[in-house]
């Protein structure tokens, strides 16, 4: 029997379930018992069930991108993808995620369990969506995914101009995700030079995630959700600071305090999490969960930034991905999913 390959699993954040992902959960999870349980929880909360959303005849942006609906779909798809990874082939050595992907990582690692998972996911989505502000994304690299000093300086200038009102929300590979008050976000977007007729890009339905403006939501979450909903992780976790939470050794109180506190109100260093994942665990592969495959670019850019495998550009990474056994594998891409699933 061939030796297992080691892998770190990476979970996507809010916005990864889009029009092209409609029906994804039905295809990969079918009539799973846990999905029925999630649907029952959603019904009790007076919310549209996950199955109903996923199996809708058409994608409705207002409905599917609504915070608590999108979060429930993304979390459920992530759990289903994680369960489908062939453990006879892949030894999962750690789990991390981007932004809301931290919640999915908690579920995959067994920190969140049973019906309370969907209560937490839906509840946190509602609390954070009701918070103030907005969020937008802007590139810090050129077309070949190499650092662009002018773009970096322009973003730094806006953060300085709007101190206390605009914040670095997510360090996301070659992109800066900025969050702040509606006024600061609007002014910063107007000041930044357009890139590729797409950026700066306002993220619809997003509040000022991972910024001090989320403190009221964090305070409510700390009061609403008890420590008993958090369990010791069954696999190592890498959080939004790049800190490792060892399997079996982590205290529930500390996990709750971070997840419902700093993780909500402080910058999420996704790029640092990826750096720690590859340097500390040296996996044979990174496995990106669905829905979708939106994480790929940011993960690749994070690897290029640290010269992983001597990759210095988009071209280097693309050539490496064309190898017989690419380093990064995505469950959201059918041709790669076949290499990963049972």
Task: Provide the token pair at 18.
Answer: 């889009």
Averages of pLDDT over runs of 10 residues in the chain (342 residues) are: 88 92 91 93 96 96 93 97 96 98 98 96 93 96 96 98 98 98 98 96 93 97 97 97 95 96 98 98 97 94 96 94 89 90 78
DSSP per residue, 69-82: HHHHHHHHHHHHHH
What lies within 8 Å, CB to CB, of 52 at 6+ separation is 39
Domains in the chain, CATH or no CATH each: 5-130+214-340 (3.40.366.10), 134-210 (3.30.70)
Per-residue model confidence (pLDDT) at position 2? 65
Of 101, 94, 117, 31, residue with least CA distance to 292: 101
| Phi and psi torsions of 195, nearest 5° | -130, 125
Cα dihedral 165/171/175/179 (nearest 10): -20
How far apart are the C-alpha atoms of 45 and 43, rounded to whole Å? 5
pLDDT for the residue 30: 75
Residue with structure tokens 């496995």?
287
pLDDT of residue 323: 80
Residue 187 confidence (pLDDT): 98
Please give the pLDDT value at position 322: 83
The order of strands in the sheet holding 328-330 is 244-245, 237-238, 90-97, 5-11, 285-288, 328-330
């Amino acid at each position: 029997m061939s030796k297992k390959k080691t892998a770190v699993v990476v979970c996507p954040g809010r916005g990864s379930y889009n029009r092209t992902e409609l029906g994804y959960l039905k295809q990969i999870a079918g009539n799973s018992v846990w999905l029925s349980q999630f649907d029952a929880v959603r019904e009790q909360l007076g919310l549209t069930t996950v199955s109903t959303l996923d199996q809708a005849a058409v994608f409705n942006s207002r409905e599917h991108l609504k915070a608590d609906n999108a979060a429930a779909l993304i979390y459920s798809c992530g759990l289903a993808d994680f369960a489908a990874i062939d453990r006879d082939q892949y030894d999962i050595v750690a789990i991390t995620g981007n932004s809301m992907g931290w919640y999915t990582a908690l579920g995959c690692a067994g920190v969140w369990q049973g019906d309370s998972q969907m209560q937490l996911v839906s509840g946190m989505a509602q609390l954070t969506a009701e918070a103030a502000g907005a969020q937008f994304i802007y590139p810090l690299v050129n077309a070949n995914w190499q650092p662009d000093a002018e773009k970096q300086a322009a973003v730094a200038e806006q953060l300085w101009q709007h101190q206390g009102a605009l914040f670095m929300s997510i360090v996301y590979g070659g992109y800066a995700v900025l969050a702040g008050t509606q006024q600061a976000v609007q002014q910063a977007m107007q000041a930044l030079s357009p890139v590729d007729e797409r950026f700066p890009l306002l993220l619809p339905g997003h509040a000022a995630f991972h910024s001090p403006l989320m403190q009221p939501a964090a305070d409510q979450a700390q009061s609403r959700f008890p420590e008993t909903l958090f369990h010791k992780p069954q696999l190592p976790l890498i959080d939004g600071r790049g800190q490792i939470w060892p399997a079996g050794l982590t205290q529930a109180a500390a996990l709750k305090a971070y997840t419902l506190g700093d993780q909500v109100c402080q910058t999420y260093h996704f790029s640092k999490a990826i750096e720690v994942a590859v340097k500390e665990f040296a996996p044979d592969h990174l496995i990106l969960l669905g829905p979708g495959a939106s994480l790929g670019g940011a993960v690749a850019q994070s690897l290029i930034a640290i010269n992983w495998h001597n990759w210095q550009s988009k071209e280097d990474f693309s050539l490496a991905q064309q190898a017989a056994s690419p380093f990064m594998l995505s469950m959201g891409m059918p041709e790669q999913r076949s290499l990963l699933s049972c």
